[in-house]
Amino acid sequence: MQKTTENSPPVAIVTGGARRIGRQLAIDLHAAGLDIALHYHSSRDEADSLAGQLCRQREGSCHTYRADLEDTSAVQDLGQRLLARHGRIDLLVNNASGFAASPIAECTPETFDQMLSSNLRGAYFLIQALLPGLRQAGGSVVNILDMHLTRPLRSFSAYLAAKAGLASVTQSLAVELAPDIRVNGIAPGAILWPEDGLAYDDQTRRATIARTPLGRLGTPGDISAAVLFLAQSAPFVTGQILTIDGGQSLT
């Protein structure tokens, strides 16, 4: 497989890129001129469909990669495959995430470890695996966090503990990897409701929008615009966490 050359388009890796916010990230980063390395775990059909759509717009501009980010050996293998194909890595967006309720009275060690693996451990070791490519490109990392780090969501303590860990890693690595690699985070508020409908029933959804100063849900495009800003228009910004929540965290 051929590595990226100096004349090739920049490369963005989007984890969890087949669906929801990740899909929009891939579409908008591609529209901005980046080639896409699209990671997925179980959403193969959606990933293949999106890759086909992007490659019809620009031949060879999107490749898919399957990996279970809860498996450290799979993360290391993913990193090797990405470096073998692309060489340099201009942008890594750690978007893949696990989201599950974990009331303290019921949370098991398995649930806690799953939240840590899917939201923190996988992202951490993928950054580690991609360091040579990120350094070669002078690239950046954007970690997708959660506005509820500062306004805790009841019964989601394990999930938020993992996201808090990723926020800490974001700032720690911004110092450790400078000046070669910038590391920032984005903390979305209400963008897309969880698909299972359990965390946000109709009453909770109405209340969430009512206490959001801008009076609406955000869109996946709001997140991709912020990623593009941090990746391409903010060369003197690192170690920052940008909250995209319509002002909800202020109320």
In angstroms, rounded to a whole number, what is the distance separating the alpha carbons of residues 231 and 106?
A: 40
In angstroms, rounded to a whole number, what is the distance separating the alpha carbons of residues 129 and 124?
A: 9
pTM, two decimals, is 0.94
Q: Annotated catalytic, 40?
A: no
Domain ranges of the chain: 11-243
Whether residue 193 has pLDDT greater than 90: no
Q: Kindly list the strands in the beta sheet with 62-66, ordered across the sheet, starting from the edge strand earlier in the chain.
A: 62-66, 35-40, 11-14, 91-94, 140-144, 182-188, 241-244
87-119 confidence digits (pLDDT tens): 999 999 999 999 999 999 999 999 999 999 999
In angstroms, rounded to a whole number, what is the distance separating the alpha carbons of residues 119 and 141?
A: 15
167-191 confidence digits (pLDDT tens): 999 999 999 999 999 999 999 999 9
Q: Do the beta carbons of residue 218 and residue 24 sit within 8 Å?
A: no
Whether residue 227 has pLDDT greater than 50: yes
pLDDT average, residue stretch 221-243? 98
Query: How far is residue 49 from each of residues 38, 44, 54, measured CA to CA in Å?
Result: 11, 8, 9
In 3-state terms, what secondary structure has residue 188?
strand
* Predicted pLDDT of residue 2: 41
* Predicted pLDDT of residue 210: 92
**Which one of 1.10.3720.10, 3.40.50.720, 3.30.300.210, 3.40.640.10 gives the CATH number of domain 11-243?**
3.40.50.720
pLDDT average, residue stretch 222-245? 98
In angstroms, rounded to a whole number, what is the distance separating the alpha carbons of residues 155 and 136?
A: 42
> Which one of the listed residues 40, 65, 159, 200 is annotated catalytic?
159
What H or E segment, with its residue span, contains residue 132?
helix 131-137
